[in-house]
Amino acid sequence: MPRKLSQEIIERIRREVLSGKSNYQVARELGISETTVRNHTKDIAHPRIKGPYIRGKQLELLRQLLKDGYVYTSNNRNPLRGLQKHFPMIKRAQFKNRSIYYLEDKSNAALREMIKQNKSRVVSYHDLLNMSKIFDVKLTSKEKEKFYNTSKR
């Protein structure tokens, strides 16, 4: 049967972790499991982690967003949602079961890409109007005509 830790020990665990020691170090010093330390410190920010880190898949997606202005969701939904939490200028739009994340100031490029991806289907004026509303882009008559004509090819 596991022993119950006193409030004094719990406070010491928290103090040690806040001072910069790892869960492993604290557990070893106090003769308890690392899981016990983690359970008693999971609600506090660890000082060694100075802020949200962006690495791996999220970093690749952020680079693509900055380069192209948009990223298709496909298998990247969770990393993109994580980026969206840290960067409110990243927006998401969905049209005809296709989802795209884009930078707010690149909505025009994202709209053009979304239309390009729908080439296999005929884009009607109604679809074009809906897409421009989703991306909050005002299209002139000439732009509408251009989009409509390029989607028919």
Q: What pLDDT digit, counting tens, does each position of 48-79 carry?
A: 555 566 777 888 888 988 898 888 877 777 88
- Do 45 and 70 belong to one domain? no
Q: Per-residue pLDDT tens for 22-41? A: 888 999 999 999 999 999 98
Shared domain for 35 and 67, answered yes or no, is: no
Of 139 and 68, the one with more pLDDT: 68
- Distance of alpha carbon 42 from alpha carbon 22, whole angstroms: 12
Same domain for 133 and 76? yes
Question: pLDDT tens digits for 108-126?
Answer: 888 878 777 765 555 677 7
Its pTM stands at 0.55
The answer to whether residues 46 and 32 belong to one domain is yes
Longest Cα pair distance anywhere in the chain, in angstroms? 76
Q: Residue 5 class from Cβ within 10 Å (0-12 exposed, 13-18 middle, 19+ buried)?
A: middle
Which residues are bridge partners to 93 per DSSP? 100
Domain that holds residue 136: 57-152
3-state secondary structure of 58: helix
Instruction: Assess whether 72 and 147 both reside in one domain.
Output: yes
Q: Into how many domains does the chain fold?
A: 2
Using the 8-state DSSP alphabet, how is residue 4 labeled?
P
- Alpha-helical segments (H) within 74-124: 77-86, 107-117
| 141 and 113, same domain (yes or no) | yes
